[in-house]
A = this chain, B = another copy of it.
Amino acid sequence: MPSLSRGSIDSADAWITLAHAVEPDDAAVGTLLARLGPQEVVERIDSGRTGLRHGEGLAARLSGFSVDRARDRAREIGGRILTRDDPEWPCTLHDLRERGPMALWAVGTADLRLLGLRSVSVVGARACTLYGEAIARGWSMDLASAGWAVVSGAAFGIDAAAHRGALTAGGLTVAVVAGGVDVPYPRAHAALLAGIADQGAVVSEVPPGEPVRRQRFLSRNRLIAAIGRATVVVEAAERSGTTATARAAAAMLRPVLAVPGPITSPMSAGCHRMVQDGTAILATDAADVLAAVDLSAAAHLMAAPDAGESSTSPRDRLADREARLLDAMPGRGWVDLAGLVRSSGLAARDVLTGTSLLAAGGWVTEGERGWTRTRVPPAP
């Protein structure tokens, strides 16, 4: 009989509890969470009332679980646990919606909130060529020098080259790993991971001590795609894990950039294919990447989660046009272009640009009938 002694817990504790029970990217639990919220889902897991086939397994994982011990454990390894309500939570992760992580463990000096503002994911094949490796290292140096954090997965090949480039430039780099943040994987990258934590952060959505698993690599890839404001694919074989990451980023309407290479190189085939099918735009230098993020960075910058103790709200930091548009939105229901032009007094062109930015910032949702306020505006 599962314990019901957890009593009433706050939202953050509920998320941490869930992170110990639920495998990353569990769609069934995600749906439940969207409907019931974290506390209720924890209670249902504990009481065996999730209605899920794997409810029993979830409950078993929580048997004897204690949030306090989890927090202690994070401290012991020099890390911290973030949940969605945390000011440090990268705002870009909100785009994952029900597929978002329950919690994040982070070891390192970097403030993860920065990732939602100025980060680029640099991904690619493990079995990369020297050509790809040189590009990953060089561009990551350029991006880091320009003040952008380089996000990658600490794998062999392109990932490692990207981290190393950012480290060399003295910039910020973040490794999102598939196992616990204290589990060096691959083993040969233990020193690299330590260096990344020193100068940036090592991040995971699974608790410390958890091993890597095949499925966890795939779910980890969605985090890399979600965190970066853009994703750069340096080299990728066709139908590879890398192209899957890139397509996930594209599905979130993030700019995806692919580096061309010789048509004779199988490691460039995935890049070429993505340019051909419109998943990616072609990039020939780091400036192309920055051009893509500069255009799209604005929205999140505006809707940046509140800086903790600061007294300004995200809404206070909206630009005038966007603030005016948001004011002109009905409290509920949809409004179309003509309606917004009327209610805001703005030109149609400004309405279109402004709503795009508000949509990108999570303030409004676009649909066939126009726009509606999002039910949960960007968290303060």
Residues of A within 8 A of B (CB): 131, 135, 259-264, 268-269, 272-273, 275-276, 281-282, 284-285, 288
Q: Are A260 and B282 in contact (CB under 8 A)?
A: yes
Q: Are B262 and A262 in contact (CB under 8 A)?
A: yes
CB contact between A263 and one of B275, B276, B285 (< 8 Å): that residue: B285
The 7 closest A-B pairs by CB, nearest first: A260-B260, A263-B284, A272-B284, A275-B282, A276-B282, A262-B262, A261-B262
Copies in the assembly, this chain: 2
Chain B nearest CB: distance from A165 CB in Å?
A: 15
| 9 chain-A/chain-B pairs, Cβ below 8 angstroms | A135-B263, A260-B263, A260-B268, A260-B272, A260-B282, A262-B262, A269-B284, A276-B284, A282-B282
Could you list 12 further interchain pairs (A-B, Cβ under 8 angstroms) beyond the known A259-B263, A276-B282? Answer: A131-B262, A131-B264, A135-B263, A260-B260, A260-B262, A261-B261, A261-B263, A269-B284, A272-B282, A272-B284, A273-B284, A282-B282
A272 to B272, CA, bound (A): 11
Chain B nearest CB: distance from A281 CB in Å?
A: 7
- With A260-B260, A260-B261 known to touch, is A276 a contact of B281 (CB < 8 Å)? yes
A268 to B260, CA, bound (A): 10
Nearest B residue to A268, CB-CB? B260
A284 neighbours in B (Cβ, 8 Å): 263, 269, 272-273, 276
A262 neighbours in B (Cβ, 8 Å): 131, 260-262
A212 to B127, CA, bound (A): 51
Nearest B residue to A259, CB-CB? B263
